[in-house]
Amino acid sequence: MSSQASIRKWGPHKLDAAIEQRLQRLAKAEGVARIAVMPDVHLAGDVCNGVVVASERLIYPQCIGRDIGCGYLTVRLREQHIDETIAARLLAGLYRAVPNCKRSVAVTPEFDIELSAAPLQKVFSREGRWQLGTLGRGNHFVELQRDQEEQLWLLIHSGSRAIGQAISAFHLRDAETDSASGLKFLDADSIAGEHLLNDLQWARQYAAANRLAMLDAIERDVLSKLDFDVHRNTMIHLDHNHVQRESFGERQFWVHRKGAQRLLTDQQSIIPGSMGTTTYAVAGRENEDALNSCSHGAGRSMSRKEAAKRIPSKTFRREMNGVWFDKRNSARLIDEAPSAYKNIREVMKSQRDLVRIVEKRRPVLNFKGR
C-alpha cells in the first residue's frame, strides 16, 4: 500500500509543470516518507536534480543519480601573482595534470570494501583504474577563485566517472519497479540491497579518491612549479549524490541526495553558482524540515540543448569577462554559460534557513577540459 510523502520546497520560482509532475510521482513511491526540494532543483531524468528523499527501507538508485559520490573539494592556496602569462601556464598545466577521460597510468586504490560483483570488478580493471584522477566532461571543473580578502582558492568538482555509472546501471537491472511511481527500488534488507549499498559506498570512496588524486597532480605538476602553496588544513571535501542512514529524533531514514548537500550545524561547504558567477562559502543550519540539507549549486535554468540554441556567443563572452579560460572551447562551453543557470543570489536568498553565508568567492580561472 503506498501513501503520499510530504514535500517541502525551498526556491525562488514557481516550479515548472514537468518538475511538479516528477515530484508528485516521487511522493507516491512506496516507502518514501519525506521529500525536500532544494532551490536549485531542475529536470534530470526520472528524478530531478536538487532533491532529497527519505525512505523507510527501500533504496531508490534514481534518487542518487548516476554520478554517485559527485562532490566538491576546495582548498586555499598561497600564490605569487596571476597575470596573463601565469594564467596561460596554469591552463596548460591543467591540461597535462588533469585528463578528461583516462590517464596513462593505472592506479589501484585501497578501499576497506570491495565491489560486490565480477562484472563491476571488470569495469573497474578496464576503466576505473585508468580514470582515477580524471575530471570528466559536462559541468565538472577545476576553478581558481578569490575570496573577499583576495585569498586564492582551488575548487575541484567531479565524481565517480564510468565505474559510478556502471554501478548504477548494474543494480537498476536487478531492481523492482514500484507500481505507483514507476521508479526502481531495492530493499535495503535484502541481499541485493546490501550489495547495492556496498557498491554505492565504494563509489563514494572512489569519487573522493578521484578528487584527491586530481589535487595531488595539480599540486605536483602545476602549482608547485609556479610557487603556489596548497594549505591542506583548509580543505573542505563533501559529496552531493549519495544515500546514507540518518536519524531524525526517534526516526531513522535512508536519505537519498541527488544534487544536495548534507550540512549539520556550522559544518562548512560551498555552493557554486556557475563558471562566471559567485561561489558562496556556507555553514549549515541543520534544518530538519529540509532533511539537514541545502542546495549544491544554482541549478540549470535551461537544458543544455536550449542553452546552446538560445545563448549568443557574445553573451557568453560578456558573462565570462574577467575569468581566464581556454577561449578555443568557447563554442562548446555555451551550454555551460552563466545564463544557463539560475540566479545564484536568489537561490541563496531562498535558503537562508538552511545555510548561513560565510563569504563569497569570485571565479578567476576556469578549466573544463576538452
Q: Which is nearer to ligand LQESDW3C, 55 or 158 (CB)?
A: 158
Q: Catalytic site residues?
A: 296
Q: How far is the CB of 189 from ligand LQESDW3C (least distance, A)?
A: 30
Where do the DSSP E strands lie in the chain? Answer: 6-9, 32-42, 49-55, 58-59, 71-78, 141-147, 152-158, 176-177, 184-187, 229-239, 241-248, 251-258, 260-262, 268-272, 279-284, 293-295, 355-367
**Residue nearest ligand LQESDW3C, Cβ-based:** 297
Helices and strands of the chain, counted as H and E runs: 10, 17
Among candidate residues 76, 126, 38, 42, the one with its CA nearest the CA of residue 299 = 42
Q: Which is nearer to Mn ion, 70 or 115 (CB)?
A: 70
How would you label 224-261 residue by residue, b for 16+ Cβ within 10 Å and e otherwise? eeeebebeeeeebebbbbbbeeeeeeeeebbbbbbbbb
Q: Which is nearer to Mn ion, 70 or 347 (CB)?
A: 70
Contact present, 219 and 79 (Cβ < 8 Å) = no
13 assigned binding-site residue: no
Looking only at residues 178 through 217 of this chain, which bind Mn ion when binding is defined by CB under 5 A?
none
Considering only 62, 279, 287, 351, the residue that binds ligand LQESDW3C (CB under 6 A) is 279
Q: How far is the CB of 159 from Mn ion (least distance, A)?
A: 6
Q: Which is nearer to ligand LQESDW3C, 133 or 159 (CB)?
A: 159
Q: What character string, x for contact with ligand LQESDW3C (CB under 6 A) and - otherwise, covers 298-337?
A: xx------------------------------------x-
What angle, 0 to 180 degrees and rounded to 10, lies between the N-to-C axes of helices 191-218 and 161-174?
A: 170
Residue 70 makes contact with Mn ion by CB under 5 A: yes
Residue 5 makes contact with Mn ion by CB under 5 A: no
240 assigned binding-site residue: yes
Q: Which is nearer to ligand LQESDW3C, 31 or 284 (CB)?
A: 284
| Residues with Cβ within 8 Å of residue 108, at least 6 apart in sequence | 129
Considering only 31, 128, 133, 273, the residue that binds ligand LQESDW3C (CB under 6 A) is 273
- How far is 326 from 344, CA to CA, in rounded Å? 24
Q: What is the DSSP letter of 341?
A: B
Contact present, 76 and 152 (Cβ < 8 Å) = yes
Bind-site residues for GMP = 139-143, 240-241, 272-275, 296-299, 368
The binding site for Mn(2+) comprises 140, 157, 240
Residues of this chain that interact with Mn ion (CB under 5 A) are 70
User: Where on the chain is the footprint of ligand LQESDW3C (CB under 6 A)?
Assistant: 40, 49, 70, 139, 141, 143, 259, 272-275, 279, 296-299, 336, 341, 363, 366
